[in-house]
């Protein structure tokens, strides 16, 4: 979805009821003390916005807690990369929030089945990836919407990402960056050996993807959905959970859509 003004507040509304969450690093904790002293600490269920102090990893954790809720999240970079964060703490935080642009994100839903027959469900706002557990390359069959599209991919792994996550692991694996409004999911191999020249695919956001692990005894594979890791999987099903969403706020001129476009022109 394109970036827009946050629709949860009426024109002219000043969001003053703020809930703060901070990563355990020193910088984030110092800002937490200062901002809570200045604005107070509102319970999340009563707050206008959640202000997240930290880096992208901590921000991702906080976004998972807001899935399915109407609480928007504004990130302040007190970490390293900060792709999902705003660059600095503004002097007048409520005024900055009132003019922020909103990006609505939908997660991927993963269902991983293990050799023992256990089924583990998890959500991912960045990506779901499969990766070999040993020195042996993985052998993976790929199905899309009930049809086998790749009978055998020999590789280190394979991943499917959200548009917001396409600038993360997907980009490092040489996958395409996808605009938020594209309604596409990049499917990207990780160090493909056969077919060597296959670079992946762009799938519609409605696609139902299933990975089948071949030769599981010899070539064990783990599946990861953001923070959830499942080892010794035999199959992994992935689809977009369109009914779930979270809202991220960005300073004017620094929207997530703009950042994704800019990233494509960065050396």
Query: Residues marked as binding for NAD(+)?
Result: 56-57, 126-127, 156, 164, 167-172
Binding-site residue set: 56-57, 126-127, 156, 164, 167-172
Selected catalytic residue, list 48, 56, 91, 226? 56
Give catalytic status of residue 56 as yes or no. Answer: yes
> How far is C-alpha 163 from the chain's CA centre?
8
First-residue to last-residue Cα distance in the chain: 26
Strand partners, 35: none
Nearest by Cα to 73 from 64, 14, 108, 81 = 64
Query: Which residues are catalytically annotated?
Result: 56
């Amino acid at each position: 979805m394109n970036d827009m003004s946050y629709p949860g507040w009426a024109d002219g509304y000043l969001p003053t009821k703020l809930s703060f969450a901070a990563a355990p690093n020193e910088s984030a904790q110092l800002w937490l003390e200062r901002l809570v002293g200045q604005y107070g600490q509102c319970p999340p269920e009563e707050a206008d916005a959640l202000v997240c102090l930290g880096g992208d990893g901590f921000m991702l954790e906080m976004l998972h807690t807001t899935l399915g809720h109407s609480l928007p999240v504004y990130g302040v970079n007190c970490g390293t990369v900060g792709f999902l964060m705003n660059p600095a703490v503004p002097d007048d935080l409520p005024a900055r929030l009132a003019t922020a642009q909103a990006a609505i994100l939908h997660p991927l839903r993963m269902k991983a089945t293990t050799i023992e027959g256990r089924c583990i469900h998890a959500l991912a706002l960045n990506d779901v990836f499969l990766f070999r557990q040993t020195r042996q390359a993985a052998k993976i069959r790929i199905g899309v919407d009930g049809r086998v599209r790749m009978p055998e991919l020999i590789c280190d792994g394979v991943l499917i990402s959200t548009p917001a996550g396409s600038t993360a692991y997907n980009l490092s694996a040489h996958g395409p960056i996808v605009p938020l409004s594209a309604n596409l999911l990049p499917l990207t191999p990780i160090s493909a050996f056969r077919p060597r020249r296959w670079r992946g695919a762009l799938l519609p956001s409605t696609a139902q993807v299933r990975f089948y692990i071949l030769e599981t005894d010899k070539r064990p594979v783990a599946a990861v959905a953001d923070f959830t890791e499942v080892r010794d999987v035999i199959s992994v099903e992935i689809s977009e959970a369109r009914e779930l969403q979270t809202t991220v706020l960005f300073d004017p001129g620094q929207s997530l859509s703009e950042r994704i476009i800019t990233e494509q022109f960065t050396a």
